[in-house]
Chains A and B, each alone.
Chain A
Amino acid sequence: MIDADLFRKSVCRQFDLEEISQNEYLVHTGKYFDDGDELHIVLKEDGEGKILLTDEGHTLMWLSYEDFKLTPVRKSILDGIVSQNRVNLDEGRITVSAASAEEAGEALSSMVQAIIQAADMRRLSHSNVMSTFLEDIKEAYKKAALSSRCEFRKKIEVRKGDFIEPDIFISGDAPVLVYGVNNPERAKEAFINLLFVRDSGKNYRTIVVIGDDAEISKKDRDRLINTANRPIMGTEEMISITERFVEA
């Protein structure tokens, strides 16, 4: 037999108010971000007698924790989150008003939902996308016929004190170095590596794989294309092109 009262009490126990200044409360919801920090929600009056719940901009600040930029795509996702949960986005603050304390429960649920969904945009962050991209490339080469010749993130000294670190090193008479590029930082890093290789006097050949959705400038893209021996746009034919290039 389910004790519904105990269940209700157990659920309600997670919610609490902590007075932080006059007529201003921190709302404890028992809901947390991935890192264990509680959602930041403050309850106060909005100046017109209504109840206002605000995150004080904490959610977007929390997202800045990693290399997160509110790109047009992410902004449009955020707008959708705000709209579907019937909350507002006001100069970086997620807010919602309620006409009375009696209606505040529903507003709080919307607020919690909106914050959690917004925080999930972290999974779309640059670093995570970049890691996934490089991991995907690595996995593809591991499964390829030439996998036995591949080494990953091999550190090579090209000149005294100058090291290069290709994502994939393919051994052979003229070894092939593969660089994956999916963002501006990585584009610069790969370009410097390509210059080192070019000036090293060694018989290395280079491939640069530029991701399908790489957010890099035309300038970065052009100089990678012009410097690598074999640029590859996108990952779809990456392995077959690499195999032909290695055997050429």
Chain B
Amino acid sequence: MDSVTVISDSEVERMISAPKFIERAIDLSQLQLSEDGRFRLKRYKLECGEYGFFVMIRQNTDRPDNFSIILVYEGRGRREVPVLRFNGNHGRHKNRIEGETIDGPHIHKLTERYQMETTHPDGYAVATSGYADLKGALDAFMKAAHIRVKSNKHNRTLEEFE
């Protein structure tokens, strides 16, 4: 894939469902404060056979419910492509193509259509009631993105035996 290749929806699903490992459990108290003090941010490298990924977490300090947890694919030429993004409650979201609006927490996903028809590849989002704060969102995100802590690498899930 080069910097102008569109990533298909089926490839996005493969990316999300690929097993990923992180060196150690994410400690949200370790997020680093930005220079201006307005948000906390940290990146975590993931291990994944086929793909290069990292997770980025950021949280607003004025309003902690305003946060994002993002699964980012590192493409060629250091191109960074957001694949999955769990947003907190920062206000409203609008799916530009469909014209529908969402209030409250929502999940962005990279789609073929938004890559081709808009300027933001993960501009499509769906509402969620699966979490209300950053900790809850992180738990849901780890599960959705198939991320496990590396020390558990050899512990296979029931699904993997099927």
A54 vs B62: C-alpha distance when bound (angstroms) = 11
> Once bound together, how far apart are the Cα atoms of A155 and B94, in whole Å?
40
Structural contact, A36 and B70, CB atoms closer than 8 A: no
Measured in the bound complex, the distance between the Cα atoms of B34 and A8 in whole Å is 41
The distance in angstroms between the C-alpha atoms of A70 and B124, with both chains bound, is: 27
Cα distance, A153 to B118, chains bound together (Å): 26
- Chain A contacts for B78, CB-based, 8 A: 67, 127, 130, 183, 185-186, 189
Kindly state the separation between the CA atoms of A34 and B125 in the bound complex, as whole angstroms: 13
Contact A93 B62 (CB under 8 A): yes
Asked whether A61 and B38 contact (CB < 8 A) given A56-B60, A56-B66, A93-B62, the answer is yes
Cα distance A70–B78 in the bound complex, in angstroms? 19
Nearest Cβ distance between residue B27 and chain A, in whole angstroms?
20
Interfacial chain A residues near B124, Cβ < 8 Å:
36
Contact partner of B37 (CB less than 8 A), chosen from A36, A70, A91, is A91
Can you pick out 14 interface pairs between chain A and chain B where the beta carbons lie within 8 Å of each other?
Answer: A32-B94, A34-B119, A36-B124, A36-B125, A42-B63, A58-B90, A60-B36, A60-B39, A61-B38, A93-B62, A127-B80, A131-B3, A131-B77, A183-B78
- What's the count of A-B pairs with C-beta under 8 Å? 107
Chain B residues, CB < 8 A from A131: 3, 77, 79
Q: Does B96 contact A (CB under 8 A)?
A: yes
Measured CA separation A34–B77 after assembly (Å): 23
Residue of A nearest to B37 (CB): A91
Within 8 A of B (CB), among A57-76: 57-58, 60-61, 64-67, 70
The 8 closest A-B pairs by CB, nearest first: A57-B38, A92-B36, A92-B38, A56-B62, A38-B92, A35-B120, A61-B39, A34-B120
A233: chain B residues within 8 A (beta carbon): none
Contact B122 A40 (CB under 8 A): no
